[in-house]
Amino acid sequence: MKFYVHTEEPPFTVVVKWGDSDDQDLNKIIKIFMSNFEKRYPTEACKIDKSTIELWKGRKSLNLSGNVLQAIKNMDDIYVKWKSISTDNNAQITGNHSAEELDTSDLVKSENQDDSLEKNHSLKKKTPPYSVQEFLELATALSTKQQRQHAIVLFKDILKKEPTNQTALIGIADCYMNAGRPSDALPYLQQAQSTNDLAFRLGQCYVKMGEYDKAIDTLIGYCKELRTRGGTSAAHKQDVQVWLAKAYIGKKQTDMALVVLQGVLRENQEHLDALTEYAPLIYRLGPKQKDEAMTILLTVLVNKLNDNHVKEKFAYLCQQEHGMQVLESMSGPAWRDVPAVVFMATSLRDAGAIEQAEALLKHACMLQPENPHTLLTYVHTLELVEKHTEAVQEIMAYIKQWPDKEIGSFKIGSLLPILNHFNGDVYLNVPDGNIPCSSVSMETSSGPYLEDTNYLLAILFTLVKILFVKGAVAFIRPITNIIDPLTKGHELHKTNIRNEAAYFSCISQLQGITPEVNHVVPSQQNVYFVGDSHCVPPAWQAIRIKGEDRIVHPILSTGTKIWHLREESTFYPKYNFNSAITKIPDGAITIFCFGEIDCREALLLCVEKAKYDSLEEGIDRVIDIYVTLLTRLQNLHHWDVYVHPVLPVLDLTRSLVMQFNQRLKDRLMSQDSLKWLNFVDNLLTKESGELKLKKQFEFDGTHVHPCYLKLLEGSLEGLV
Residues forming beta bridges with residue 555, ordered by sequence position:
530
Task: Classify each residue of 336-370 as buried b or exposed e, where b means 16 or more C-beta atoms within 10 Å of its C-beta.
Answer: ebbebbbbbbbbbbbbbbbebbbbbbbbbbeebee
Task: Classify each residue of 439-461 as buried b or exposed e, where b means 16 or more C-beta atoms within 10 Å of its C-beta.
Answer: ebebeeeeeebeeebbbbbbbbb
Contact indicator for 379, 459 with CB cutoff of 8 Å: yes
Q: How crowded is residue 417: how many other Cβ atoms within 10 Å of its Cβ? A: 12
Q: How far apart are alpha carbons 649 and 626 in whole angstroms?
A: 21
Q: How far apart are alpha carbons 231 and 226 in whole angstroms?
A: 8
Helix (H) or strand (E) holding 6: strand 2-7
472 exposure class (CB count in 10 Å sphere: 0-12, 13-18, 19+): buried
Which CATH architecture does the domain made up of 2-130 adopt? Roll (3.10)
Contact indicator for 281, 258 with CB cutoff of 8 Å: yes
Strand 589-593, strand 640-643: pairing: parallel
DSSP code per residue over 398-430:
HHHH-TT-EETTEEGGGGHHHHTT--S-STT--
How high is the pLDDT of residue 425?
Answer: 95
Q: How crowded is residue 626: how many other Cβ atoms within 10 Å of its Cβ? A: 23
Written in H, E and C, the secondary structure of 323-365 is HHHHHHHHHHHHHHCHHHHHHHHHHHHHCCCHHHHHHHHHHHH
Q: So where are the chain's domains?
A: 2-130, 198-366, 372-510, 527-717
The SS3 of residue 77 is strand
Q: How far apart are alpha carbons 8 and 614 in whole angstroms?
A: 10
Q: How far apart are alpha carbons 102 and 162 in whole angstroms?
A: 10
Helix (H) or strand (E) holding 60: strand 60-61
Q: Determine what percent of the chain is predicted with pLDDT higher than 90.
A: 70
Nearest to 173 by CA among 144, 145, 205, 133: 205
The amino acid at residue 131 is: S
Q: Does the structural domain 527-717 have CATH classification 3.40.50.2300?
A: no
Angle at 690 between CA 687 and CA 693, to 5 degrees: 70
Contact indicator for 476, 467 with CB cutoff of 8 Å: yes
The backbone torsions φ and ψ at residue 678, rounded to the nearest 5 degrees and listed phi first, read -95, 75
Whether the bond into 129 is cis, omega within 30 of 0: no
Query: Measured in whole angstroms, how far is the alpha carbon of residue 110 from the centre of its chain?
Result: 38
Query: Measured in whole angstroms, how far is the alpha carbon of residue 439 from the centre of its chain?
Result: 38
Q: How far apart are alpha carbons 468 and 466 in whole angstroms?
A: 5
Q: How far apart are alpha carbons 184 and 177 in whole angstroms?
A: 8
Which residues lie closer than 8 Å to 519 by C-beta, 6 or more apart? 428, 430, 473, 474
Which residues lie closer than 8 Å to 377 by C-beta, 6 or more apart? 342, 345, 346, 361, 364
Angle at 602 between CA 599 and CA 604, to 5 degrees: 80
Q: Give tens-digit pLDDT for 275-333.
A: 999 999 999 999 999 999 999 999 999 999 999 999 999 999 999 999 999 999 999 99
Contact indicator for 12, 85 with CB cutoff of 8 Å: no
Written in H, E and C, the secondary structure of 502-523 is HHHHHHHHHCCCCCCCCCCCCC
Contact indicator for 143, 171 with CB cutoff of 8 Å: yes
Q: Does the structural domain 198-366 have CATH classification 1.25.40.10?
A: yes
Prediction pTM value = 0.83
Contact indicator for 458, 505 with CB cutoff of 8 Å: no
Which residues lie closer than 8 Å to 632 by C-beta, 6 or more apart? none
> Number of C-alpha atoms within 13 angstroms, CB side, residue 708?
30
What residue ranges of the chain have pLDDT lower than 70?
A: 84-130, 196, 437-446, 516-519, 521, 524
Which residues lie closer than 8 Å to 479 by C-beta, 6 or more apart? 415, 418, 460, 463, 464, 467
Radius of gyration of the chain (CA): 29
Q: How far apart are alpha carbons 132 and 123 in whole angstroms?
A: 18
Q: How far apart are alpha carbons 380 and 659 in whole angstroms?
A: 33
Q: Give tens-digit pLDDT for 655-711.
A: 999 999 999 999 999 998 999 999 999 999 998 888 999 999 999 999 999 999 999
Alpha helices, H only, 677-719: 709-717
The amino acid at residue 417 is: P
Q: Considering the chain, what is the average pLDDT of its residues? A: 89
